[in-house]
Structure 1
């Protein structure tokens, strides 16, 4: 199943959002609880100060009163209970609920504190204030406490929290919509590029226009254009190859047809024999051309599939080729030699393809070396590489032509008379590339041509 780029981007952008919302919800709950606690603490402290204003000495007597306003601060629909207590400097209860908890330590004058406690089995929030007595003969403080149950506080915290959640859900919905719209508009250039590619006519190899392409898509478009250029070159080479191959085959068949017509019209047995011999040679050349075309096709396929992992003994391949081509060398009185230096000669590649490589090199050397010449196959084995060198004392190849001879069907003027079709060295290069080897041309000290194939 193909993956959607839009869905992947949406996942990367939207999946973290709910997690962030959950984290923010937890933080909002803590903030709402803290805010509700702060409100309750301030209300308790306000009630304490109202009671403190009514706590004083008058005519030598301590006067304590809880005004209704102190209790009216806590009126709400939550039915919270409010408790209070006033304790004298000596620790005696002056007013309120004796079971109300005391703060953990002593308080200085005007000092206050808040703490949590339990009153009659219900949790409460308690505020305590050390109030200095006015009119006392010596500095004294009374402890005033006020407590409230937590129902109103919880309702306030829930109200603040729910309001925060509503805002976050609205923001999340807007974020999803904006992300979707952003992806839709952001991926629009990619969709336009897709349509531009889909609307191209079959066989069109023009490069894509990069002017309207976003910066992030430029590497992709440039890679496509480079591929199109390479494909164009490949198709052009393929077209030339097919044209050259068709021309060569058509020429061979035309010559055969002419020779056959000539033989049929002739009444002289000698002339017919000569025509038949020429036809046989033409058929041989045509067969050789077809075989080389097939070999070149197989070599190209092998090169495109990557270096082969199989190994073969190159020394055995060379010996077999020399035995097969020995009659051709003897027919021209050519000294066909073989030298092996160094260690083993195991190379990467199939034995059949290596046989074609060596056969083309040796056949070319014999074909272009004049009668009475010398052709030598030299095999040098080393630890990291193996080198095969085919040397001859023929006419050689000029330096300026050494790269062109690897082009298909390219032949030198001198080579054209030898009956070759210009595919030998291209086949050698393709097979060498398929085996991870490289081919080089040079001139031996005595003249002629040396073709080196280095494996490794």
Structure 2
């Protein structure tokens, strides 16, 4: 392994919880809460039903005893057939079952005195009485403790009268009590059945989620295996057949990325092939010129050959610099993540004009400059045309446009660089009085290594990369380059070329006058 090679990026740690665990973590608590609420409601309803059923069974002997209470001829209160009722009551063989019938005499026209002694007609004495005196004929149910055992009591109070004319009356309290053990056992059994049903439902739901996720992810597993087993240079799109609908956008995004990568690889391969082809010719010329200079014995001709070699080296250097600039302009990975700085398009354009002014004078060309107000201005008074762009790349764009204009404009011609504002955009225009470009060929001149055949010998001196580099840098900074007729005064019948760089104006914060 090459120690100079960059270290591979750290492998991202897998997420702690997968889709199955997330679904279960999301669904199980909600289902458990809903089932618990439903089970609790069912349990309460079943408990109420059990209580009503047990209370009704407890009330039957109470009503039977209450219906059998009569006043004998001697004025005493008796219970008819108490033993049959007691036998029926005790037939279930449950523990802690008690009956009680008590009677209190009521004075004529006076309310019942609860402190008066009670006579037990039947059953066990001392069963807990209800907290409040119930209305006659209305049964009441309550929980109590008798002989240290919890019991459920049904009580019914009624008033009986002596029909012999004595006017005597008695208040009779009939009670039946039984232990709460069977009730609690039935409630516990119902709760157990509810919990078992809920646990079964949760287990079945978890199993279905597990199997459903496994079945749904099977196409993704197939995609993973196909990606792992395919060769490194295989850039075919992924097959989205059978993939769940929710995952199709992800597969399409991956295919889009693969297509971009395939396009980038193709462009890089084409760039390397074109660059090799373009460098081969000047290197061959240099080799021939150097061989000729070595064989030449005449110092004057040898010097002439060396001058030709120096000129060819300058053109080769220019080509190499353009190739590097083109590689940088088309490399999207080198775009800075930070927001571009705010630069003045007018300052950049003026700097380019000053840079190329000596070359224009050498070619006897008139290189002029017009600022945003339409007339030459000192540098300090140039109106600000703020744009968000990389200043070096913006300088490279304008430099290529001005260099092309100088190269294709004949001696004695004129070149004018103008910056101006148009609505929400800043424009830099490079107009020349050269031969121009036919409208149908203007799109093709932005292709790599394209030379306009109508430009004559000037086209053969360049590599055909200037406009390609300029457009790549312009688009990287949010702008665009367009070509149009120059309409120069020297060319009243048309001709010339106008190269227009258009960038959106940057919105700057307002500075208060104070």
Alpha-carbon separation, structure 1, partners of 2:38 and 2:395: 75
Q: Is 2:48 the counterpart of 1:34?
A: yes
CA contact (8 A) 2:134 2:140 kept: no
Q: Is 2:262 the counterpart of 1:232?
A: yes
Name which of 187, 196, 211 aligns with 1:166. Answer: 196
Name which of 207, 210, 226 aligns with 1:196. Answer: 226
Spell out, residue by residue over 1:26-67, the C-alpha distance to the aligned partner (whole angstroms, 9 max, x if none).
445534533442332122122323324533456686431353
Deviation at 1:443, TM superposition (A): 1.5
Q: Is 2:486 the counterpart of 1:444?
A: yes
CA contact (8 A) 1:51 1:70 kept: no
Alpha-carbon separation, structure 2, partners of 1:308 and 1:98: 93
Q: Is 2:62 the counterpart of 1:48?
A: yes
Alpha-carbon separation, structure 2, partners of 1:395 and 1:141: 131
Alpha-carbon separation, structure 2, partners of 1:61 and 1:27: 51
Residue 415 to residue 237, structure 1, CA distance change in 2 (3 Å): farther
Spell out, residue by residue over 1:364-395, the C-alpha distance to the aligned partner (whole angstroms, 9 max, x if none).
11111111111111011478432111111212
Residue 136 to residue 451, structure 1, CA distance change in 2 (3 Å): farther
Q: Is 2:362 the counterpart of 1:322?
A: no
Counterpart in the other structure of 2:465: 423
Residue 408 to residue 141, structure 1, CA distance change in 2 (3 Å): farther
Counterpart in the other structure of 1:2: 14
Counterpart in the other structure of 2:477: 435
Deviation at 1:130, TM superposition (A): 5.8
Alpha-carbon separation, structure 2, partners of 1:14 and 1:413: 75
CA contact (8 A) 2:345 2:387 kept: yes
Deviation at 1:287, TM superposition (A): 0.6
Alpha-carbon separation, structure 1, partners of 2:403 and 2:49: 98
Counterpart in the other structure of 2:154: 127
CA contact (8 A) 2:151 2:180 kept: yes
Residue 429 to residue 308, structure 1, CA distance change in 2 (3 Å): farther
Root mean square deviation of aligned Cα = 3.2
Residue 52 to residue 69, structure 1, CA distance change in 2 (3 Å): farther
Spell out, residue by residue over 1:89-130, the C-alpha distance to the aligned partner (whole angstroms, 9 max, x if none).
955655354553237465465x43434455567654332346
Counterpart in the other structure of 2:93: 75
Name which of 364, 373, 378 aligns with 1:333. Answer: 364
Deviation at 1:22, TM superposition (A): 4.2
Residue 324 to residue 131, structure 1, CA distance change in 2 (3 Å): same
Counterpart in the other structure of 1:100: 128
Residue 305 to residue 197, structure 1, CA distance change in 2 (3 Å): farther
Spell out, residue by residue over 1:381-411, the C-alpha distance to the aligned partner (whole angstroms, 9 max, x if none).
4784321111112122222222222222222
Deviation at 1:199, TM superposition (A): 1.8
Counterpart in the other structure of 1:273: 303
Alpha-carbon separation, structure 2, partners of 1:416 and 1:252: 19
Moved more, 341-350 or 425-434: 341-350
Segments of structure 1 that go 5 or more residues without pairing to the other structure are none
CA contact (8 A) 2:431 2:486 kept: yes
Alpha-carbon separation, structure 2, partners of 1:105 and 1:449: 115
Name which of 376, 387, 392 aligns with 2:432. Answer: 392
Spell out, residue by residue over 1:174-223, the C-alpha distance to the aligned partner (whole angstroms, 9 max, x if none).
32222212221121112112112222211112122233333222222222
Counterpart in the other structure of 1:409: 449
Q: Is 2:312 the counterpart of 1:282?
A: yes
Moved more, 305-314 or 261-270: 305-314
Deviation at 1:363, TM superposition (A): 0.3
Residue 386 to residue 69, structure 1, CA distance change in 2 (3 Å): same
Counterpart in the other structure of 2:403: 363
Residue 383 to residue 214, structure 1, CA distance change in 2 (3 Å): closer
Number of equivalences: 453
Q: Is 2:502 the counterpart of 1:454?
A: yes
Deviation at 1:11, TM superposition (A): 2.2
Q: Is 2:100 the counterpart of 1:84?
A: yes
Alpha-carbon separation, structure 2, partners of 1:278 and 1:414: 26
Name which of 340, 343, 356 aligns with 1:309. Answer: 340
Deviation at 1:336, TM superposition (A): 0.1
Moved more, 26-35 or 172-181: 26-35
Segments of structure 2 that go 5 or more residues without pairing to the other structure are 1-12, 107-111, 113-117, 374-382, 489-494, 505-514
Counterpart in the other structure of 2:380: none
Counterpart in the other structure of 1:114: 141
Deviation at 1:338, TM superposition (A): 0.4
Moved more, 58-67 or 288-297: 58-67
Residue 455 to residue 226, structure 1, CA distance change in 2 (3 Å): same
Spell out, residue by residue over 1:1-27, the C-alpha distance to the aligned partner (whole angstroms, 9 max, x if none).
332333323322334344445445544
Alpha-carbon separation, structure 2, partners of 1:401 and 1:305: 34
Name which of 1, 12, 25 aligns with 1:11. Answer: 25
CA contact (8 A) 1:386 1:454 kept: yes
Alpha-carbon separation, structure 1, partners of 2:29 and 2:456: 72
So what's the TM-score if we normalise by structure 1?
0.87
Deviation at 1:354, TM superposition (A): 2.0
